[in-house]
Structure 1
């Protein structure tokens, strides 16, 4: 049982939950200007973890024919057969059900909108079959996260969460471009669409830079419309420095540091964003 749990955790890269969960909590504090009831926080977290698990499972299921052939992924639990295709699909469906149930526990509007999130989770892995801008579909998944938090807590969409969603969308789309650089030749051979496969390494890096500039702009607007203070903006400058460092690691003729840029730096960015939002909410210094 323990071995199976480890296989499933490896299948969905559970450790990568660090990318989304801090932003979920940041959205909670932005909307509530503090913590709501622990019951609401609990169901929001259940929905977030279940949604990410469903998304990764759908991704692994639909990508299975490619992952078996890709030298980088052929030893993954899904591609190697350690976890069967039927098990992957069952995990995706079960996790989707948990997401819907968690939304139901929050309020009716969250419940009614939960299928939209599931639809996006399914569209993303399929999108690489027909659009070079598939990274923006993944961005759309993250775009709805803070909006979903607002709906869950207030039963409405707060404007600041729209800008936070846009910031998250372009942040994720940007580093997803970096991730796709690893498979550029394989993707071209197999007819898989992505910005790197279509435009090449140099232009793909430029796309990622533009996306992350947009991230900075939308996170600035988030702070403005949420009424956040000096601590938030100082934190945003620090995060911008981290993004600049991330981009300095990725060079057209040297992609050896993609894993550091993708996993390590972005993990720090999400955690730091949450920390600075919480500090600003509790120790506000007006600007």
Structure 2
């Protein structure tokens, strides 16, 4: 059982939850202007983890034909058969049910809107079959996180949650472009759509820079409409430094540091953003 859990963790890359959960908590504090009831936090976290698990499982299930052919993914547990296709689909379905149930426990509006989240989780892995801007579909998944938090806590959509959602959307879309640079040649041969496969490395990096500039703008607007102060904006300056560093190590003729940019730098960005939001609300 322990070994199977480890395999499932590898399947959904559970460690990547670090990209999403800090933004979930940041959304909670921005919308609530403090700490909401613990039961609300519990069900929001359950919904977030279940949603991410469902999204990754759907992604692995629908991408199996590509992953079996891609040299980079040939040793993934979904490809080797360590986790069967039926198990992957079952995990996706069970996680989806948990997401819907968590939404139900939060409030009726969250429950009624939960199918929208599920639809996006399914559309994203299919999107690489028909649009080069599939990265924005992934961004749309992250866009709804603060929206969902706002609905769960307030029953309405706060304007600050909208701008935070937009910031998260372009942040994740930008680093997803970097991630896709690894498979540019394979994607072109296999017919997988992406910005790098369509426009090449140089223009793809430019797209990522534009997306992350938009991230910075939307996070400023989040602070303004969320009533945040100098600690928050000072934090944004530091986060911008991380993003600049991320872009400085990804070069057209040197993609060797993609994993550093993708895993390490983005992990710091999400955690530090949460920390600066909390510090501003408590000390500002």
User: How high is the TM-score relative to the length of structure 1?
Assistant: 0.99
**Deviations 1:196-216, CA, capped at 9 Å, x for gaps:** 000000000000000000000
Q: Secondary structure at the match of 1:34?
A: coil
CA RMSD of aligned residues (A): 0.3
Q: Which residue of 1 aligns with 2:92?
A: 92
Q: Secondary structure at the match of 1:79?
A: helix
Q: Which residue of 2 aligns with 1:110?
A: 110
Give the superposition deviation at 1:238: 0.3
Per-residue deviation at 1:106? 0.2
Shift of 1:155: 0.3
Matched, 1:279 2:279: yes
Q: In structure 2, what is the equivalent of residue 59 of structure 1? A: 59
Cα distance, 1:221 vs structure 2 = 0.2
2:180 is matched with 180
SS of the residue 1:8 aligns to: helix
Query: Which stretches of structure 1, 4 residues or longer, exceed 2 Å deviation after superposition?
Result: none
Residue of structure 2 equivalent to 1:34 = 34
1:128-147 correspondence runs (5 A): 128-147=128-147
Match of 2:210 in 1: 210
What SS is found at the alignment partner of 2:72? coil
Determine whether 1:15 maps to 2:53. no
Match of 1:6? 6
- Name the CA distance, whole Å, in 1 between partners of 2:203 and 2:220: 26
* CA-to-aligned-CA distance 1:156-197 (integer Å, 9 cap, x gap): 000000000000000000000000000000000000000000
**How far apart are 1:93 and its partner, in Å?**
0.2
Taking the aligned partners of 1:74 and 1:152, their CA distance within structure 2 comes to 40
Provide the aligned length of Structure 1 versus Structure 2: 284
Aligned to 2:259: 259
Once residues 59 and 117 of structure 1 are traced to their aligned partners in structure 2, the CA distance between those partners, rounded to angstroms, is: 14
Give the structure 2 partner of residue 153 of structure 1.
Answer: 153
